[in-house]
């Protein structure tokens, strides 16, 4: 049966939500689970604050793209001021770090970094590389900074599915409600919620009711995750059977069975 042997589509998923809601934990764990299953996966970290590197388990927290990744338009020519020096897939292949389970990891330079160089060029490079990876051979899993700014300025346009991570607390729910508007843009991605740090079905219902988004997974409040985060370890390495990790495993299964669009 052809339908059973056809390869599942590659994921193009971006995680957004309020700061501290659990975006990095969930996205980092998904990245590692894909890698452990032998699948090619590229993690895209566009948060100028540290986060995803910890949950993936990469000891590299500040390595943006070099400014040579973009070239400036010569004087007198038309067009945008900067363009990528090479195609996005080549740049991602060259500059992504390789982490545990063979996962690839690409990040923007971090705020307050001493790396120097032109942050603007590096940010531009990252954004345009991310936008040009659809033909690449990897699953794409993005972790955006907390809040509404990057998502509404088009940093997740490469994503076919946007997952809003929402804790059952007012500020996180209000943020989720704002982010739900991403899905109302014509031709925009599908937008769904993942309830995070929940203590039972009532919490999940609160997230669904107040954000108006379909909740496709509920990740429980889990002391094992808090312990991993205290140690700076990837939750998957700290306790692969922790309830929150199991919930992310289920989320990945349902994403894949739905062809990556939930």
Partner 1 sequence: MKVAVVGKGGAGKTTTAAVVARTLSRLGGPVVALDCDTNANLGLSLGLGWDATDELADLRSDLAEGEVEHEPTWSGLVARFGSDAPDGVRLAVVNRIEDPEPG
Q: Which residues bind partner 1 (CB under 8 A)?
A: 18-21, 49-50, 70, 80-82, 119-121, 123-124, 127, 145-149, 153-154, 170-171, 174-175, 177-178
Phi, psi dihedrals of residue 21, rounded to the nearest 5°? -80, -20
| Minimum distance from residue 88 beta carbon to partner 1 (Å) | 15
| Minimum distance from residue 185 beta carbon to partner 1 (Å) | 14
Q: Which residue lies nearer to partner 1 by CB, 94 or 149?
A: 149
Phi, psi dihedrals of residue 121, rounded to the nearest 5°? -65, -40
Q: Can you tell me which residue has the tokens 């925009």? A: 188
Q: Which residue lies nearer to partner 1 by CB, 109 or 260?
A: 109
Q: Which residue lies nearer to partner 1 by CB, 174 or 224?
A: 174
| Minimum distance from residue 212 beta carbon to partner 1 (Å) | 13
| Minimum distance from residue 64 beta carbon to partner 1 (Å) | 12
The DSSP code sequence of 56-123 is HT-S----PPPGGGEEEPPTT--S-SEEESS-HHHHHHHHPEE-GGG-EEEEPPPTT-S--S-HHHHH
Q: Which residue lies nearer to partner 1 by CB, 20 or 240?
A: 20
| Minimum distance from residue 137 beta carbon to partner 1 (Å) | 27
| Angle at which helices 223-231 and 243-257 cross, to 10° | 100
C-alpha distance from residue 157 to each of 59, 121, 153 (Å): 28, 19, 9
- CB proximity list for 189: less than 8 A, separation 6 or greater: 14, 156, 159, 160, 161, 162, 182, 183
Q: Which residue lies nearer to partner 1 by CB, 19 or 132?
A: 19
CA angle 215, 216, 218 (to 5 degrees): 80
Helix, strand or coil, per DSSP, at residue 165: strand
Q: In the chain, count of helices (H) and strands (E)?
A: 11, 10
| Minimum distance from residue 197 beta carbon to partner 1 (Å) | 10
Q: Which residue lies nearer to partner 1 by CB, 169 or 258?
A: 169
| Minimum distance from residue 65 beta carbon to partner 1 (Å) | 13
**Which is it for strands 215-220 and 190-198: parallel, antiparallel or unpaired?**
parallel
10 and 73 Cβ atoms separated by less than 8 Å:
no
Q: Which residue lies nearer to partner 1 by CB, 34 or 206?
A: 206
| Minimum distance from residue 218 beta carbon to partner 1 (Å) | 19
Q: Which residue lies nearer to partner 1 by CB, 119 or 233?
A: 119
C-alpha distance from residue 104 to each of 34, 138, 146, 253 (Å): 11, 9, 22, 21
């Amino acid at each position: 049966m052809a339908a059973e042997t056809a390869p599942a589509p590659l994921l193009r998923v971006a995680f957004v939500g309020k700061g501290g809601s659990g975006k990095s934990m969930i996205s980092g764990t998904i990245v590692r689970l894909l890698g452990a299953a032998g699948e090619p996966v590229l993690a895209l970290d566009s948060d100028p604050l540290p986060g995803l590197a910890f949950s993936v388990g990469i000891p590299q927290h500040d390595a943006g793209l070099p400014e040579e990744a973009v070239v400036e338009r010569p004087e007198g020519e038309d067009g945008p001021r900067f363009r990528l020096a090479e195609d996005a897939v080549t740049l991602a292949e060259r500059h992504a770090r390789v982490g545990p389970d063979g996962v690839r990891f690409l990040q923007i330079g971090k705020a307050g970094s001493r790396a120097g160089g032109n942050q603007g060029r590096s940010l531009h490079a990252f954004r345009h590389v991310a936008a040009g990876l659809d033909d690449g051979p990897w699953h794409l899993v993005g972790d955006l900074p907390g809040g509404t700014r990057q998502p509404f300025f088009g940093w997740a346009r490469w994503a076919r599915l946007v997952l809003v991570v929402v804790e059952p607390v007012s500020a996180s729910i209000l943020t989720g409600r704002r982010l739900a508007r991403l899905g109302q843009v014509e031709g925009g991605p599908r937008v769904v919620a993942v309830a995070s740090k929940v203590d039972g079905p009532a919490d999940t219902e609160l997230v669904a009711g107040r954000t108006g988004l379909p909740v496709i997974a509920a990740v429980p409040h889990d002391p094992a995750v808090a312990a991993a985060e205290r140690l700076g370890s990837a939750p998957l390495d700290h306790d692969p059977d922790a309830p929150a990790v199991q919930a992310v495993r289920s989320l990945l299964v349902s994403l894949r069975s739905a062809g990556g669009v939930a």
